Structure formats: structure tokens, C-alpha cells
């Protein structure tokens, strides 16, 4: 328990002006630079098998992401939010979690889902509009994708509080975007989490753009990590495209949370290389030159270069990974497109018991679907009416 100092005492008729010493800190961390320079003192010592699996998962996420974009363009998937360029942060965080820990995402954490055991078709279900995509697989303590900005922070805070109350040695990791830190949900969650000292790791994915709004218009703070100081906890800013830095920072934050040290804020500096979703055009609000500069920091080839230098990855291994992943994606697409979806599921799973209003809406939809369409007019049959 921190003991706060008494306020400065008056000297005569004036109050002296002095700096208040803050016990918390904000650090910056990078392990592997964009041009491949490694800080061996900070390098996390990971087993070779884990390094291979991490790379394969990052590659699988990239390939599934690309396939989803193609499916959307073909009209076989709904509006889609790509995660290209941001794979290192969620994957690095997921690596540091135990199976029984809790994971609360936004909607660009596909690599973490794959690492934690979600089948690929679940990702397709969600973006295809099926409630099956929100059904967490048995034995996995994860929440489904969350598109409303910032609301998941409150959920994560509540889960972390539950972890503390149960005393089961579990923690909760939550993701939020740079734009999400402008939401009241984020600040309310952090205020509660720090006052009650819950085991929460709050990860801010700072990808520089909240749809079309740039980072500098979100906050005047030099960093987003320093927002932690307002709540009396530590914050750290990491290179979010460097999976080694993410793992190093997260492992410390997770251990701190697990051993009763309370929450930590991690700001991961990354970049959204694609559109916010397939519903927007990023060329309208950012330059091709800016994107090209961030392409040089792409986490996938960066991690691949590191593994090649260590002799863990070669052309044959990468080709084998791609063949396996392509087969897995094809299988997932086949499952997704051959699954019969029940449109009434969107009413059934909002609450444990359906409310009267939801029952009314469900009945209205049922009547609508059972009503036969009117026969086309002669002009429509002739193709004269568009």
C-alpha cells in the first residue's frame, strides 16, 4: 500500500511551489530494430520450438487475413477489418499468457486467437455475420471480437477483478486502440482497476490511425503509455512491430499482475498497413509515402530475418509452413461456406433469457421471412425495370 506524503506546509503567508515526486515510471523498449540489429542483453531466451511456432502463427494470420480480404471482395464475407502489420503485438502478448488466463480483444487480434486455439473458421463466421463466430471454444478463457470502441475495457476490468476475488492466480490481458483511449470506458476501467489493484495488463495498440483520425489529434500526450501515471501505475512503450520487445515487456507485466503487483499499461507502437475496414479508403487520409515507410518495419519479415540469422528458419521450412497453412485455410473456408446459419441466433444469445422486446423482434423477422415475395411484374420479367 502506497503512503502518500502530506501536502506542503505554508511558510508565512505563501505555499512553496515544488515538484511532486511520482513513484511510477514510463519506459521505452525495443529489442530488435527494423534493420535487424539485436540487443542481446534484452533478448528473451525462447525455446527454438516456440520461435518456430510463433513465426508459423504470425504467417498463418497474415495468410488468413489476405484470404479474408479476397473473400470480402468476392462477396463471400462481410465488411472486414484487416490486421496486416499489427501481428506482432497480439501474438507476443498471447505467448506470455497461460491457458487459464483471460484474453479480451478488439477486432485485430487474429494472431492471438490462432495461438490460443481458435479454429480459423471461427474468424470467418464472425466476419460473415454468424453468431457462431462469437461462441468461444470450450476450455478457452477468451472474449469474442469487440467492435464497439472501448467497451471491452470495462469487461476486462471486471474479469480481472473476478480473478483477484477468486484468488486463482489468473490474470487478464485487454487490448484497446489509440482511439479507444479517448473513450470514457477506457479511463473508467483503468481508474477502477488501479484503485482495486486488479491483475490487468492493458495493451494499447497505437497504430497511428483511429479510422481517419491521426494519433496527434487523439491526445496531446507525448506518449499514450504515460496515461498510466495518472492512475498511479507504471507504463511502458514498446516497439509493437518487434515481437521480442512485446514478449519482454508483457512477461514482466504479466508476472507483476500475477504476483499481486497490480495493473500495467503497455503502449505498442505499430501501424495499420491496410484500410481500417473494407468500408473505407485510406488513400483519402494518409499518403503512400507514409505507408511505404512503415512497410519497412513490417513485423513478419523482421521476425523472419531474426530467425534466419539464428539458423531456425530457411526456405524449405517456410515453404512447408505455407503449404500447410494454405490447406488449413481452404479447409476453414469450406467449413464456413457449408455451414447452415440460423438468423434467429442473434436474438437468442443477447441475454441468458430473451427479453419481451427481443421476442417481439424475433417474431417479426420470422413473419417477414415466411411471407412469400410478390410475383414479378411483366416489365420486371422482361428486364425493363432495374
Query: Domain residue spans in the chain?
Result: 26-34+43-337, 345-382
Distance CA 244, CA 247 (A): 5
pLDDT at residue number 1 = 46
| CB-CB neighbours of 285 under 10 Å | 13
Active-site residue list: 272, 276, 285
DSSP string computed for 205-257:
EE-SEETTEEGGGT--SS-SGGGGGGGTS-EEEEETT-HHHHHHHHHHHHHHH
The yes or no reply on domain 26-34+43-337 and CATH 3.40.50.970 is: yes
CB 280 within 8 Å of CB 212: yes
Query: Which stretches of the chain drop beneath a pLDDT of 70?
Result: 1-15, 383-386
Q: What is the pLDDT of residue 374?
A: 85
Nearest to 234 by CA among 268, 262, 205: 262
pLDDT at 20: 87
pTM of the model: 0.91
Amino acid at each position: 500500500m502506497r503512503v502518500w506524503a502530506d501536502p506542503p506546509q505554508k511558510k508565512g503567508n505563501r505555499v512553496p511551489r515544488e515538484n511532486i515526486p511520482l513513484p511510477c515510471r514510463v519506459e521505452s523498449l525495443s529489442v530488435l530494430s527494423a534493420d535487424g540489429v539485436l540487443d542481446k542483453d534484452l533478448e528473451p531466451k525462447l525455446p527454438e520450438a516456440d520461435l518456430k511456432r510463433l513465426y508459423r502463427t504470425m504467417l498463418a494470420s497474415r495468410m488468413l487475413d489476405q484470404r479474408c480480404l479476397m473473400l470480402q471482395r468476392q462477396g463471400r464475407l462481410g465488411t472486414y477489418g484487416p490486421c496486416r502489420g499489427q501481428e506482432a503485438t497480439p501474438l507476443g502478448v498471447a505467448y506470455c499468457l497461460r491457458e487459464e488466463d483471460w484474453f479480451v480483444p478488439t477486432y485485430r487480434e487474429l494472431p492471438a486467437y490462432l495461438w490460443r486455439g481458435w479454429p480459423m473458421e471461427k474468424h470467418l463466421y464472425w466476419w460473415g455475420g454468424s453468431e457462431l463466430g462469437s461462441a468461444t471454444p470450450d476450455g478457452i478463457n477468451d472474449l469474442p471480437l469487440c467492435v464497439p470502441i472501448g467497451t471491452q475495457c470495462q469487461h476486462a476490468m471486471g474479469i480481472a477483478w473476478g480473478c483477484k476475488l477468486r484468488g486463482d492466480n489468473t490474470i487478464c490481458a485487454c487490448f484497446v486502440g489509440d482511439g479507444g483511449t479517448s473513450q470514457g470506458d477506457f479511463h473508467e476501467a483503468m481508474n477502477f482497476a488501479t484503485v482495486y489493484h486488479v491483475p490487468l495488463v492493458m495493451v494499447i495498440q497505437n497504430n497511428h490511425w483511429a479510422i481517419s483520425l491521426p494519433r496527434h489529434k487523439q491526445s496531446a500526450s507525448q506518449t499514450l503509455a504515460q496515461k498510466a501515471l495518472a492512475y498511479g501505475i507504471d507504463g511502458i512503450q514498446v516497439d509493437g512491430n518487434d515481437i521480442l520487445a512485446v514478449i519482454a515487456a508483457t512477461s514482466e507485466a504479466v508476472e507483476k499482475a500475477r504476483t499481486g503487483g497490480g495493473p500495467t499499461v503497455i503502449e505498442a507502437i505499430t501501424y495499420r498497413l491496410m484500410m481500417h475496414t473494407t468500408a473505407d479508403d485510406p488513400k483519402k487520409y494518409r499518403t503512400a509515402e507514409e505507408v511505404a515507410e512503415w512497410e519497412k518495419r513490417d513485423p513478419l519479415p523482421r521476425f523472419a530475418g531474426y530467425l534466419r540469422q539464428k539458423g531456425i528458419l530457411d526456405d524449405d521450412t517456410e515453404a512447408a509452413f505455407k503449404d500447410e497453412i494454405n490447406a488449413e485455410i481452404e479447409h476453414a473456408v469450406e467449413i464456413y461456406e457449408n455451414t447452415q446459419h440460423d438468423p434467429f441466433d442473434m436474438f437468442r444469445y443477447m441475454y441468458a433469457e430473451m427479453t419481451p422486446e427481443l421476442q417481439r423482434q424475433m417474431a417479426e423477422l420470422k413473419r417477414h421471412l415466411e411471407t412469400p415475395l410478390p410475383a414479378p411484374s411483366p416489365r420486371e420479367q422482361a428486364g425493363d425495370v432495374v
